[in-house]
Amino acid sequence: MMSLIYETREAGHLTTFGYVAVFLTGISFILGIAAELYAIREKAREKAEEHAKHFEQKGQLGRIETEIKANTRPLLPVAVFYTLRHSTTSEAIERAFSGVSGFKSIKSDLLQLVGSTRLGGLGYNSIELTAEESHCVLEEGERLSSLIESHSGFGESVIRPPMSTTLEFFIPVDGAIPAQPTLVLKKTFANGPYEVKRLELFDNVVFQDCFVKKWHAQTGADQNWSVANLSNARIRFSLILTGELGPASLHNLQLFFGPISSMHGIHFPAELLSRAEFKKDPSPLFKPSNALAAQFFTSYILEFECNLTESVMSDNFVKVVAQ
């Protein structure tokens, strides 16, 4: 065999067959390494495909879970009940409440803590006020309807309708609250303040109950949200009010989610609502040109923001039982 590879002479050089054998051995070694590298790459590719498939299946399960939640505990439609506290002139109060039981019927020398509270629903932040001469209520009926239908939206009145009502949801994405709202629900004043359902008077202070359920929605396409998406979200509720009629505040705010059959709701207690801010509108649609116009058309914002933390949700979020 050695004679096939080496010459027997003193020079001892490889024979032609020896050169071929060495070349083939090298090629075989290179091909072995290439095969090994290919096998490693195939394993990595299979592993990557398996991981991608698992990730896709996980995403599909997440989407299915979201759709199930959206169907069984949907976020939409949304309705809002709120109570606006404000004051108005004695003339406006006289026009609205004259002849109503309780109007100017409390002796002024006897201070009475009359207050008001409601039972049922999500809970109502009780009113505790001392009335000197008047405590009366206008509920849904002919008299309140007449006030609503004759209201232009401006001027002195026991009704202080917002020019717009906006509810914004900032739903977290990967645990982070976005800078811009995910869902915007807006209602603008049109025809009359038909969202007003009740007026309660304490001397010159009016508590105005409103219920809003018809909105213009601004959102991305193909969005399915459930009430589970509210966890750690942020909401912003704002009213645009016009006229130099003094400050206004939120006494109650309740949000209702989903159809009656699967409705959930959240009630905001007085402690949270005390953070609401009443301020001049920094970007009004109309800027009054004189003092008279400012009296009627100066624009203000009453704005409330709240992060729906775990504690806020656990204390105030409930399943609403239809009655």
| 3 state DSSP class of 162 | coil
pLDDT tens-place string over residues 103-154:
988 654 444 445 555 544 577 898 888 888 899 999 988 899 999 998 876 7
H-run or E-run covering 254? strand 249-257
**What type of residue sits at position 138?**
L
pLDDT tens-place string over residues 208-226:
999 999 999 988 655 788 9
Q: What does the alpha-carbon distance between residue 176 and residue 233 come to, in Å, rounded to a whole number?
A: 9
Q: Which of 62-71, 129-138, 188-197 has the lowest mean pLDDT?
A: 62-71
DSSP characters for 268-319? --HHHHTT-EEEE-SS-S---SSHHHHHHH-EEEEEEEEE--HHHHHHHEEE
CA distances from 26 to 18, 30, 38 (A): 12, 6, 18
| 3 state DSSP class of 124 | coil
Q: Given this model, what pLDDT does residue 6 score?
A: 46
Sort residue 258 into left (φ over 0), alpha (ψ -120 to 50) or beta.
Answer: left
Return the percentage of the chain with pLDDT > 70, whole number. Answer: 76
